[in-house]
Amino acid sequence: MADDIQYHSTEFEAINLIEASYKQFSFQRHYHLDFHIGLITGGQQVFQHNGKSHRVGSGQLVIMPPDEIHDGQSWQDSGYDVQVFAIKPDWLSQMAEVTTSDSLINFQQLIVSDRDIFSELSQLHHTLKRQDISQLAMDCAPYEGFHQLFNRYGSLGKQDEVRLGKQHIGRLKEYLIENLDQAIRLEDLSTMCQLSETQFQRRFKAQMGLTPYAWLSRLRLEKSLQLLKSGINGTDVALQVGFYDQAHFTKAFKSSFGITPSQVSTRN
């Protein structure tokens, strides 16, 4: 049994789609830069999140916020099928008419069992891949499709100011993204936070759930996925995110996403 994984761009820069049948591939512990809303259309998936094990099956959806560590694999050998929306947090904030920078969109449930919502989102996933509908219908589709989900399960809350030593974790993330093509040194990161290197490593893992190196490695791969979807070729993407060996980049990418970089760029 082979995995079948397809990534799709949409007319909306902030929304990308995944349609997959996972038979053998398992996600190791990782995080995303975007909200991931996954609809299980067949089989069952199990995953770990915040120290708890979860199982979801056909007709249920999972809402995974950005930066939260989790894994994922099939519950049975037969695998599972899923449709995923990858949505930039800023777009969701705009949809919810968030007006202050310290507000954050939350969802009341990690796993949602709601037949109406599932049906609406499944239809939206299909619509965003179509090319035979009017422009206005396409423009309105995501707002209409996500409206009910947010009304029933969404809320607004204050964004916690997470700090690592003397530095806001958001600024640290910005620094890493700005310097993905550079050799990041532990000394530089710990100095930014006014911590010793030992303190930085210990507190970073406690706060983020991964070691600094593992977190940076995932950040490079998440950013590479975004760049590939934008149409940049794999060789240039590898250099932009700090991989100077194309074979190493391809191997790391496939290990994380189940397909090669060239498959992303040709399936948009």
Residue at a domain's end among 115, 135, 158: 158
pLDDT of residue 161: 63
Do residue 107 and residue 91 come from a single domain? yes
Per-residue pLDDT tens digits for 116-164 = 999 999 999 999 999 889 999 999 999 999 999 998 998 876 656 667 7
pLDDT of residue 160: 60
pLDDT of residue 266: 47
Across the range 71-95, mean pLDDT stands at 92
Per-residue pLDDT tens digits for 154-172 = 887 665 666 777 778 888 9
d(CA 77, CA 99): 46
With beta carbons less than 8 A apart as the criterion, state whether 230 and 89 touch.
no
Counted domains in the chain: 2
pLDDT of residue 171: 87
Per the structure, the complete domain to which residue 226 belongs is given by 163-266
DSSP assignment, residue 159?
P
pLDDT of residue 101: 58
pLDDT of residue 42: 97
Per-residue pLDDT tens digits for 26-37 = 999 999 999 999
Do residue 127 and residue 178 come from a single domain? no
Average confidence score pLDDT of the chain:
90
Do residue 105 and residue 131 come from a single domain? yes
Do residue 119 and residue 44 come from a single domain? yes
Do residue 170 and residue 125 come from a single domain? no
Do residue 52 and residue 126 come from a single domain? yes
